[in-house]
Structure 1
Amino acid sequence: MAAKSNWAAFPHDAKAYAYADDALKKAWPKLHAGDCEPFPDAKRAAALLKAAGKAAPKLDADALAEALQDAWRAFHHGDFKAAFDAGEKLGPIGASVAVKAIGIHTTYLVDDEAEQLKRYEQAGKLAEAAIKALPDEANCHYRHAFALGRYSQGLSIGKALKMGIAGKVRASLDATLKLEPKHAEAHTALALYHAEIINKIGAMIGGLTYGAKAAEAEKHIKEALKLTPASPIAHVEHGNVLLLLDENKNEDAAAAAYEKAAKCKPLDAMEALDATYAREQLE
């Protein structure tokens, strides 16, 4: 279990990302502009308990709301292990924060490739269980796509395609956007889906086999930037999409995108890691 392994600490000053008490609710719309996660107040918690049925934790709405808020508070502060543990403990209802916590931590703070794959696989299983329990929650589908997408990036393109991961990622992203059309991170991920397939197997085969199109990549990343212009990750992935589509032609434009990301003011630990990554691409 990833929770039992050694989790590297968030490497930056997290003082500004504490969001104690009501500060979390106040900052929530900006903190979750990218993933449209609803604020987990008691009303939201009650709805989740009802929807999850037997898969729900044995808590009342107030206790669940408090537990979810604490888990997200830990996530935003960079206490990724605490956020993961708290989310995992809540079962499918806590999968959104659990998967995001282990996913972001693994992306930026785990170097060992085997450990990365193990964690992304675990995240994918948590998200799968969440989809079964809460099929109408956009982020159950998005977290699934995120985990599978990251997992596939650690495999050879041949193995990833043979396992049918591309189709599963696409299906989960389509489900996300059907439930939440303004999900910026899903738009970003869909842009990467198109761009990565074109980069790996070419526009013709990618288009015929997986429906991958450069124009779709450009459309979705443009939408993500429109929805979250202050988000470092939207600009980071814009740069990545540009390089995947045509590294030689788009090198300067990608650098400009990374510069924008680096200049964004991080609102939480994740965004601080995103902005740091952008700065590293410019070095």
Structure 2
Amino acid sequence: MAQWSPFPHAGDYRWNAASVTQQWSRLHSGDAEPCPPDAAVLQAWALFHNGEFEQAAAAGLSAGGAGITAANKATAIYANYLEPKEKTRLDLFLQVAERAAAQAAQEPENANAWYWHAYALGRYSQGISVAKALAQGLGLGDKIRNALEKTMALSPRHADARIALGTFHAEVIDKVGALIGGMTYGAKKELGLQLFQEALRIHPGSAIGMIEYANALVMLEGDAKMQEATQLYEKAAACEPLDAREHLDVEMARIELQEG
């Protein structure tokens, strides 16, 4: 497979296993992943936080066990933000979805196995268009919603699962309308917005939470919420990133404001 595109700010972050362990709760405020005792898994996470996504994925797969989660996150974040080819992006999301499904089958209590399965399927469905995914009857909607609800049941402080599920509700309603969205896919506007609010209570500094909440407000409420959405983008753009993934989120908010 072709080499992955590098993180454009290589060298800006210098995490190692010791510093990652020390700052674990802050680095993982969004995904609530337990800090691993295995040195090889910690090294995979250090590579991830530095933006060395390809090396992080390889190290996580090599470590096995909890390293699979590091590999899945590294692959999914890379695909979402940095992979330029659409077909490769979709292939990477499917890889993560399949790997996470196998992990969830082996470890049904592993919240992030369910989360990365849902995240990858969600990004895949966005890539082929949410409407197309729903229309094709692929069962993606049910799989995504069920996996995210399972994540939250297993990990009640999983902010990222709330962000993803809030996005799911908003996108389904945006594409098929509130009536069909509610009857067919269980999508509800109020619940979607509530999930974002809960996520930002758990992880107030989540730039991606602010960005996705802003997007959902515009999808669900239109121009009436444009000012509030812009304020959320401004707040996200002003965040101080702690690692490579947060850097990509903050950069996305800044680009959106410039283009808006």
Q: d(CA) in 1 for partners of 2:64 and 2:242?
A: 27
Kept after mapping to 1: 8 A contact 2:17/2:46: no
Kept after mapping to 1: 8 A contact 2:17/2:43: no
Q: d(CA) in 1 for partners of 2:124 and 2:65?
A: 20
Q: d(CA) in 1 for partners of 2:14 and 2:189?
A: 40
Q: d(CA) in 1 for partners of 2:15 and 2:232?
A: 29
Kept after mapping to 1: 8 A contact 2:44/2:56: yes
Residue 8 (structure 1) shift = 0.8
Pairing 1:234–2:209 present: yes
Residue 25 of structure 2 is aligned with which of 26, 29, 54? 29
Kept after mapping to 1: 8 A contact 2:118/2:147: yes
Residue 254 (structure 1) shift = 1.2
Secondary structure of the residue aligned to 1:196 is: helix
Residue 96 of structure 2 is aligned with which of 123, 131, 137? 123
Pairing 1:216–2:194 present: no
Kept after mapping to 2: 8 A contact 1:19/1:73: yes
Kept after mapping to 1: 8 A contact 2:36/2:66: no
Unpaired segments of 5 or more residues in structure 2? none
Tell me the equivalent position of 1:5: 2
Pairing 1:185–2:160 present: yes
Unpaired segments of 5 or more residues in structure 1? 42-64
Residue 90 (structure 1) shift = 3.5
Answer with 212-221 or 246-255: which moved more.
246-255
Q: d(CA) in 2 for partners of 1:244 and 1:95?
A: 34
Residue 92 (structure 1) shift = 5.1
Q: d(CA) in 2 for partners of 1:249 and 1:158?
A: 24
Secondary structure of the residue aligned to 2:34 is: coil
Pairing 1:267–2:247 present: no
Tell me the equivalent position of 1:74: 47
Map Cα deviations across residues 41-71 of structure 1 (whole Å, 9 max, x no partner).
Answer: 1xxxxxxxxxxxxxxxxxxxxxxx0110000
Q: d(CA) in 1 for partners of 2:146 and 2:219?
A: 22
* 1:71 to 1:135, Cα distance in 2 relative to 1, 3 A: same
Answer with 92-101 or 71-80: which moved more.
92-101
Pairing 1:170–2:167 present: no
Secondary structure of the residue aligned to 2:211 is: helix
Pairing 1:106–2:79 present: yes
Q: d(CA) in 1 for partners of 2:83 and 2:215?
A: 20
Secondary structure of the residue aligned to 2:66 is: helix
Map Cα deviations across residues 156-179 of structure 1 (whole Å, 9 max, x no partner).
Answer: 334312111010001100110010
Q: Tell me the C-alpha RMSD between the 2 structures.
A: 1.3
TM-score with structure 1 length normalisation?
A: 0.87
Answer with 269-278 or 151-160: which moved more.
151-160
Pairing 1:39–2:27 present: no
1:24 is aligned with what amino acid? V
Q: d(CA) in 2 for partners of 1:13 and 1:98?
A: 19
Residue 25 (structure 1) shift = 1.0
Aligned length: 256
* 1:269 to 1:255, Cα distance in 2 relative to 1, 3 A: same
Q: d(CA) in 2 for partners of 1:224 and 1:114?
A: 31
Residue 189 (structure 1) shift = 0.7
Kept after mapping to 2: 8 A contact 1:92/1:127: no
1:181 is aligned with what amino acid? P
Q: d(CA) in 2 for partners of 1:147 and 1:14?
A: 27
Residue 233 (structure 1) shift = 1.1
The share of aligned pairs that are identical, in percent, is 42
